[in-house]
Each structure stands twice: as structure tokens, then as C-alpha cells.
Copies of this chain bind each other. A is one copy, B any other.
Amino acid sequence: MKKITKTKEPQIHFAALAADTALFTLENNELLVRLIRVNRPPHIKDAIGLPGGLLLPKETADEAALRHLESKTDVSNKGVYIEQLYTFSDINRDPRNRVVAVAYMALIPWKELSENEQLGNITKSWWVPVKKLPKLAYDHNKIMEVALRRLASKIGYTTIIKKLLPREFTLIELEHAYETILGEKIDRRNFRKKIKKLKLVVSLDKKIRGFKWRPAMLYSFKSNKVEHTPNIT
């Protein structure tokens, strides 16, 4: 019988692996992303980028993404929804070394953030409206494009938007969340018809008060899981 010899493949490791995350939240009908200060002299000085960093030896990319997210943004990753987007492996995406980045998108409801998490800190990490996104380090603007496209498309066929909303919300809030992410107006009556038909949310039989207008009925999603649905938008 033919002896099969071991293929001579290089066993050394050529590229470092990083996990970079676009963390989104929704406040006051604006989609915000959490950015950090990036300093990597001599090539990158006082730049701005997405939170991320290298994988540890015994760590999956998902774990690394969550770890760096929390340590570099000071936003607790408890309650954060995260999903992998795409892996970027261009040779020169990092000017110093060969680094391959697994990009992630993460979501957190604004109301689950502490006051400090909401405020941020301009020297370390803070929220920026995606409409006013600055030039970012590395290929992070490319990651943002993928993340925004993924988010906008995914709210159309899943219930992922629940990961940006508080546990209890009004149908108007839900509608505004869609409008903000899609960047277009939705007809209120048609929207409510569709949401009710899909039976994804349940009325809590209580109303939000404290505004000077008519109180709005509160709703909740029936489950915490991100589920597929017939087209919503």
C-alpha cells in the first residue's frame, strides 16, 4: 500500500488575527457607533477606529471581540448582541504588520447603558452618529459599510431590531427604529398592520406616561431570540 507522506506545509504562522467590532446603539432617532482613540506610532497617531484587538491563544474570535469591546470602550458587554460579519485579509490593511481581522457587528439598547457608558470619553471611547462618521484607521470605514449594510438588510427579515430596543417600547419607537436604520419614512398604519399580523410583539396592557401627550401603549417582543420572519420592510 502506498505510504502517504505528510504534506510539507509551513507550520509557522504568518498573520496575526484580530477581532474588530462595530457596536451600535439607537438614541433619539439616531444610530450611533462606538469609536475609540487609536494610537499606533509611527504609522497611526491620534486616529479613530473601531474597538478591537488580537486573539489570545485560547480564545475564539467571538470571545476576543467581546473582550476587546469591553476593555477598549468601557461598555460592559453584558446584554450585547454580537454577530460575525466578514473577515478582512488585505495584505496592507495594517501598516505595521500583517493582521487579518474578523469583523463583528454588535448591538446594545441605549437604555441598558449606564450614564458613563452613554456619555463616553473623548480621550478613550465615545458614541458617534453613523451619519457623521469620521475617517477611521485601518480599513475600518470598510467594516462600517459592511456593518451598516448588514444591519439594514437584517432588520428586514429578522427580529434583530429587538437588540436595539428596550424591553418595553411603543410601536412608534419601533417604527422610528426601522426608519432610522433604513433612512426612510414608513407609513404608520401599514407598519402597524404588518407588525400585528406577524405577532412578534405582545401588548403589555399598560401605557407609558410622563410626556405631555397621549400615553402610548407599551409592547414587548415575545422572545429574546433573533428570529427569521417574513419580510417586514
How many residues from A make CB contacts under 8 Å with B?
A: 37
Measured CB to CB, the closest approach of chain B to A88, in angstroms, equals 9
- Distance, CA A9 to CA B19, complexed state (A): 13
Cβ contact within 8 Å between A61 and B84: no
Chain multiplicity (copies): 2
Q: Which residues of chain B are near A16, meaning CB under 8 Å?
A: 11, 13-14
Query: Is there contact, CB below 8 Å, between A60 and B97?
Result: no
Contact assessment for B62 and A9 in the assembled complex, using a CB-CB cutoff below 8 Å: no
Does A105 make an interface contact (CB < 8 A)?
A: no
Chain B residue with the shortest CB-CB distance to A93:
B60
Residues of B within 8 A of A13 (CB): 13-17
**A53 contact set on B, CB distance < 8 A:** 9
Query: Which residues from chain A sit less than 8 Å from chain B, CB to CB?
Result: 2, 4, 6, 9-11, 13-17, 37, 39-41, 46, 53-62, 84, 86-87, 89-91, 97-98, 100, 102, 123
Can you list 12 A-B pairs with a CB-CB distance of less than 8 A?
A: A4-B37, A11-B97, A13-B13, A13-B15, A14-B55, A14-B56, A14-B57, A58-B91, A60-B91, A84-B87, A87-B87, A89-B102
